[in-house]
Chain A
Amino acid sequence: MIFRTALALALTALLATPVLAEETAPQEAAIIENFVLDNGLEVVVIPDHRAPIVSHMVWYKVGSADEPPGKSGIAHFLEHLMFKGTAKHPAGELDRVIAEIGGSGNAFTSSDVTAYFQVVPPDALATMMDFESDRMRGLILTADVIGAERDVVLEERRMRTDGSPQALLQEEVNATLFQNHPYRIPTIGWLHEIEQLNRADAAEFYERYYEPNNAVLVVAGDVDPETVRVLAEATYGKVPRGPTLPPRIRPTEPEQNTQRTVTLSDPRVGIPSFGKSWIVPNYRTAEPGEAEALDLLSEILGGGTRSRLYQEVIVKSGIGASAGATYDGGAYDPSAFALYGAPQAGHTLADVETAIDAQLTLLIKDGVTQRELDSAKARYVRSLIFARDAQFNMANIYGSELALGGTVADITEWPDRIRAVTAEQIQAVAAKYLDPSIAVTSYLLPPETGAQ
């Protein structure tokens, strides 16, 4: 999941009303309904009546970081196998029904969650709920579907990871940055472990995690909450509650106390680039205000053309062709903050790295200006209004937040928490977490360049 974006977009709900007031034909700002069925399934309804479309998503609170050792890729493989049919609906029927109504459907797996979704006309919602609730417990996995689908997943890995030097390096950076936490393992799985995944592995994973009390249902679109409640009770409501799962406590990281370097040379690389990563707290685990400060730090340091890295390293000194920062504050467990860059012609990779390091050092030393802070906050708050424009985004924002253990209030209160961040807090988190002497640095190099 691109969690940073999801969180940046997460503001939505409360911002609309004052702005709407001066428009000619305002509607009521959408009221987001949130309730829990008797079997433990959490439900979120986000009304949006602009077009006759409804987004229906089921999020399971399980991802690749919950996999048993040696079974990397099983969460994602099972996601594929979820389309292989039940006693009531044989394989292919869901796809056929969706296609016939002109809908679309897909599914995805991340380290922390697995989600299934359809975007359909509102009168198909009941049918989608019927299918989705049926396969929550009713999946039938026969041996004959396993081989071909595992081959599909292997091709997926070859296409998306093995065929891309950038993706391969990123995989190795994660495996180096995380020394103990399962975020070190790729969501799609290691090739040699995917090859060994079997029906029993998938069935065991399914039995354990796919149950209403480990899921969140999100319905966004041209429907009213009462209808959703009635439909949900008639479908999902009939699925029996499963055993209560133990808390998601994963192996945690030891103290990070070394500088590590990961280098990949590949003949396909035309210009070198580098990245520098740290493990930092996230919204779920941070001290109050720290995750918000890290989000704004990422924006001010490297979040676009007004950022320091862009202005100083690309515009003013002309050393970099690219430079920026990312922060994944929405993961379930602490994850990464990263800086990256590549040189313009006439400059070396070392020049860019030095220039970016210097900007970080300067920020740690002198902090940020009030003007930078105000602009960054305004951009965050604005992005949430923009996010309301795409119904599926809204479903995504709420689904991921709740599946990761957050609440609707966390999303609605988020703008105020962003607004409360001070310049001092930003300087403090930079100094506390972005210590250059313990970073993992990665280099993607043309073959002849060698190590820097």
Chain B
Amino acid sequence: MIRLPSLRRPVAAIATLLLLVAPAYAEVQFQQITSPKGIDAWLVEDYSVPLVTIRFALEGGTTQDPEGKEGLAGLITSLFDEGAGDLDSEAFQIKLDDAGAEMAFTADADAVYGSMRMLADQRDEALGLLKLAIEEPRFDQNPIDRMRAQIVASITASAQDPGTEAQLRWAEALYGEHPYARRGEGTPETLAGITADDLRAFHKAIFARGNLHVGIVGAMDAETAAQTLDLLFGALPEQPTLTPVPNMTPEFGKELRVNYDLPQTAIYMAYPSIERTDPAFFAAYLMNEILGGDSILSRLTAEVREKRGLTYGIGSSLLTMKHTQALIIGTATRADRAAETLALTEEVIARLAADGPTEAELASAKKYVIGSYAINELGSSGAIANTLVGLQLRGLGIDYIAERADEINAVTVADVKAIAARLLSAKPTVLMLGPQAKATP
């Protein structure tokens, strides 16, 4: 019975946002450290709050689920605090609670993530439990059955939701046969077939030092951090056994309709994007910012929301995954104005593709994406640790942070105009979810 506040505007305009990386903050010092056993990590030392936050990523997420065992990566992440070493589920959780630590594991398509936030004065107990979870998870049958039942319940709970159908069809339309099209949480059928042996095999294949990226933030010096790396990860095998995942290009130009009697019609559009390593990446990044990025001044927000009141939120974002990328636009409006909203959105996009941005818009976007780094990425230990790991996952060096602002400042109006013409002239894949019958007069 929590009465949520109403916000002036949505916190994130659309769901498929990704963290993009960003520039220097003199005051937050990123250090590169290497453990005695040769494990690399990035560290930010900070003693103003008596906490330590560790976050790590192991490349190989839900795309590593074996065929027919979809949901394995998701299930395994729910089991690391359900028993390890000599401790069964209950004993482990009691010790974790007594140690005052918060431990979390998650998976996305490309990686499995782990994190722990602990009080500095109970660090050793907490780290001991994290080590145990990483090295010797038990995968006892009782917790497997319980966590599986909870995941199945959540799948069942959303099974009738038209949004779920829309998401599945969207993924299928964009990604076809690629593992990205699969349902990350699995299905009741695939989950039913997962055994403790499957979990052990997945753990053995993914948990290795060769695909590991670590960020440590808080009350810990470099030497202790290096020792901590060996404590936590020193016993892992050198290399993972990853199933290769091909790069792919989403399918554009498709039209999907999910008819359902809802109070609003949701509209999603996917346009081509470019790889993180493409020299035009920052031109595309700034283009996205001008079109429908975080700032409320974006062209889409100005035209669709502020001038016409067609929506509570509209936004665009660059979805940059390990093996594909796209520019995604999302909004929702009342059904009888859906056609108008889609047409207007396409018109705003076409104008940017044809004319590019103005000098003033580009200058403003540059200031925003450079300046917003600290606020978006460094607001807490968790955010900093997330940034450290995200930079490493994208293969960006520790010096990259200092160089980013220069790269952004070097982008010209002509660069943005060129990339806009290249990406936004394509025919998008469009999904409309809602009472479509009312959308066309």
Contact = CB atoms under 8 A, between A and B. Distances in A.
The finding on whether chains A and B are genuine partners in a shared complex, rather than unrelated, reads yes
Interface of B: 1-9, 11, 25, 27-28, 46-51, 53, 89, 93-94, 97-98, 100, 102, 117, 119-121, 146, 149-150, 152-154, 156-162, 219, 221, 262-264, 294-297, 305-313, 332-334, 364, 367-376, 378-382
16 contacts: A22-B121, A24-B47, A26-B47, A50-B49, A109-B6, A119-B375, A148-B308, A148-B309, A159-B312, A159-B332, A270-B161, A314-B150, A326-B2, A345-B156, A375-B97, A386-B51
Contact of B309 (A102, A149, A162, A386): A149
Contact of B50 (A3, A19, A173, A275): A19
A378 to B, nearest CB: 7
Contacts of A345: 149, 152-153, 156
A259 to B, nearest CB: 17
Contacts of A270: 156-161
Given A19-B120, A385-B51, A268 B1 contact: no
Contact of B1 (A106, A160, A277): A277
A209 B56 CA distance: 48
A100 B5 CA distance: 27
A419 interface: no
Contact of A96 (B2, B297, B375): B297
A139 to B, nearest CB: 14
Nearest to A177: B1
A102 B1 contact: no
A318 interface: yes
B378 A53 contact: yes
B173 to A, nearest CB: 22
A389 B5 contact: no
A151 interface: yes
Given A188-B6, A345-B153, A102 B378 contact: no
A418 B93 CA distance: 23
A314 B28 CA distance: 43
Contacts of A121: 371, 374
A107 B374 contact: no
A80 B10 CA distance: 12
A3 B7 contact: no
Contacts of A242: none
Given A19-B120, A27-B48, 19 more contacts: A1-B5, A19-B50, A79-B6, A79-B8, A92-B297, A96-B297, A99-B296, A101-B367, A103-B371, A104-B372, A148-B306, A151-B310, A155-B312, A160-B6, A270-B161, A305-B93, A318-B149, A326-B2, A375-B97
Contacts of B367: 99-102
A147 interface: yes
Given A102-B368, A269-B160, A270-B160, A385 B153 contact: no
Contact of A446 (B6, B89, B160, B221): B160
A64 to B, nearest CB: 8
Interface stretch (A331-339, A354-362, A423-431): A331-339
Given A23-B219, A109-B5, A306 B121 contact: no
A421 to B, nearest CB: 18
A315 interface: yes
Contacts of B332: 155, 158-159, 163
Interface residues of A, number: 100
Contacts of A119: 375, 379
Interface in A168-186: 170, 173-174, 177, 183
Contacts of A283: none
A326 B1 contact: yes
B2 to A, nearest CB: 5
B47 A151 contact: no
Q: Which of B48, B160, B294 counts the most chain A CB atoms within 10 A?
A: B48
Contact of B5 (A49, A103, A108, A388): A108
A305 to B, nearest CB: 6
Contacts of A150: 309
A322 interface: yes
B16 to A, nearest CB: 17
A183 B296 contact: no
Contacts of A335: 1, 3
A389 B8 contact: no
Q: Which of B8, B97, B120 counts the most chain A CB atoms within 10 A?
A: B8
Nearest to A91: B306
Nearest to A29: B48
B3 A147 contact: no
A51 B48 CA distance: 11
Contacts of B372: 102-104
A73 B165 CA distance: 33
A199 to B, nearest CB: 15
B1 A306 contact: no
Contacts of A318: 146, 149
A413 interface: no
Contacts of B156: 270-271, 345
A403 B77 CA distance: 40
Interface in A89-144: 92, 95-96, 99-104, 106-111, 119-121
A390 B379 contact: yes
Contact of A392 (B48, B51, B369, B379): B379
A328 interface: yes
B8 A20 contact: no
Nearest to A63: B5
B136 to A, nearest CB: 20
Q: Which of B162, B262, B296, B310 counts the most chain A CB atoms within 10 A?
A: B296
A284 interface: no
Interface in A312-358: 314-315, 318, 321-322, 326, 328, 331, 335-338, 342-345
